[in-house]
Amino acid sequence: MPELPEVECLSRAIKSVLEGKRIQDVKFYRKDLRGEIPIQKFRSLLVGQAVTKVHRRSKYMLWDTAQGIGIIHLGMTGNVIYRQTPTPELAHTHAVFTVGDKAGDPSGYLHYVDPRRFGWISCCTHDEFPDHDFFKKLGPEPLSQIDLVDYLWVKSRKKTVAIKNFLMNAHVVVGVGNIYANEALFRAGVRPSRPAGKVSRKEMDRIVPSIRETLREAIKAGGTSFRDFKNADGEPGYFAIKLQVYGRGGQECRSCGNLIKTSRLGNRATYFCTHCQK
């Protein structure tokens, strides 16, 4: 499943070919993905419009025009690729967006591909955005929220849920997937199973930079080019960072040499070092 770093990398790549350009046309090859595609509304808000901004909220890519916002989500297996032809080249191509200047020839085509169809293509007006079902309950962005330590500290008080599950809850903070939660807690020296409410302020001071470092390394490794980000195991981000604990159960801790332990928290694979993480 594409995680925050992959969606950020893809957004940057698409920004380079779409921002300041116009969506001249769109051809949909089906009416629905995970949900119905609002085809008429998408046309009225996006087609013929200049894209003023390409950005990301959680794992949604957003294309802003004066009329509204295009919403692209990759689901489990989705991708957007840039091509010089409008003809679908890959199986499971569900939409092709024609990109061009105001009056000129098309400069390229964005192909939305999603074999398992858990993704979304949607849209909303600027007024609808704050209360949109996709966005209204989301926590802050881990990379850009300025007072994230304070926020997480206050939010975690009296919470008995494991700190790892707390951080992976998108209603608390978005974009901290399983690999990143494991790696960030190792870097911060905090045991994943610790109740969130028992994490000290000092530890939260380490957890937040650890999350940011881990995500930034993955984004940096992913670069700004269009790429197929899924590895053979279907786990995202795997290629992108040197893993300290994730997937290393029974192997020696790179820091202390003790064996990395495994468990399951919230039914997700959890890896930690009992010596390095308290």
- Positive or negative CA dihedral for 252, 253, 257, 258? negative
Q: Is 15 annotated as a binding residue?
A: no
Min dist CB 260 to Zn ion, Å, is: 8
In this complex, which beta carbon is closest to Zn ion, that of residue 22 or of residue 187? 187
- Side chain identity, residue 191: R
In this complex, which beta carbon is closest to Zn ion, that of residue 152 or of residue 188? 188
**Beta strand pairing status for 93-100 and 120-124?**
unpaired
Min dist CB 140 to Zn ion, Å, is: 31
In this complex, which beta carbon is closest to Zn ion, that of residue 56 or of residue 191? 191
Give the span between the Cα atoms of 90 and 49, in whole angstroms: 27
Give the span between the Cα atoms of 165 and 159, in whole angstroms: 11
In this complex, which beta carbon is closest to Zn ion, that of residue 190 or of residue 276? 276
Which residue, among 277, 252, 255, has the nearest Cα to 190 in the 3D structure? 277
Number of residues this chain uses to bind Zn ion (CB under 5 A): 6
Min dist CB 277 to Zn ion, Å, is: 7
The verdict on 188 binding Zn ion (CB under 5 A) reads no
28-87: contacts with Zn ion (CB under 5 A): none
> In whole angstroms, how far apart are CA 4 and each of 91, 157, 170, 188, 207?
25, 26, 11, 20, 18
Task: State phi, psi for 162 to the nearest 5 degrees.
Answer: -60, 140
Catalytic residue positions? 2-3, 59, 268
Sketch the per residue contact string, 236 through 275, with Zn ion: x for CB under 5 A, - otherwise. Answer: -----------------x-xx----------------x-x
Min dist CB 185 to Zn ion, Å, is: 12
Give the span between the Cα atoms of 156 and 167, in whole angstroms: 9
Min dist CB 272 to Zn ion, Å, is: 9
The verdict on 9 binding Zn ion (CB under 5 A) reads no
In this complex, which beta carbon is closest to Zn ion, that of residue 159 or of residue 261? 261
* Residue 58 near residue 4 (C-beta atoms within 8 A): yes
Q: What is the DSSP string of 22-51?
A: EEEEEEES-SBSSSB--HHHHHHHHTT-B-
Write the CB contacts of 101 (distance below 8 Å, at least 6 apart in sequence).
21, 22, 107
Give the span between the Cα atoms of 71 and 81, in whole angstroms: 16
Q: Is 275 annotated as a binding residue?
A: no
Q: Is 159 annotated as a binding residue?
A: yes
The verdict on 276 binding Zn ion (CB under 5 A) reads yes
What is the contact surface with Zn ion in residues (CB under 5 A)?
A: 253, 255-256, 273, 275-276
Binding residues for DNA: 92, 116, 159
Binding residues: 92, 116, 159
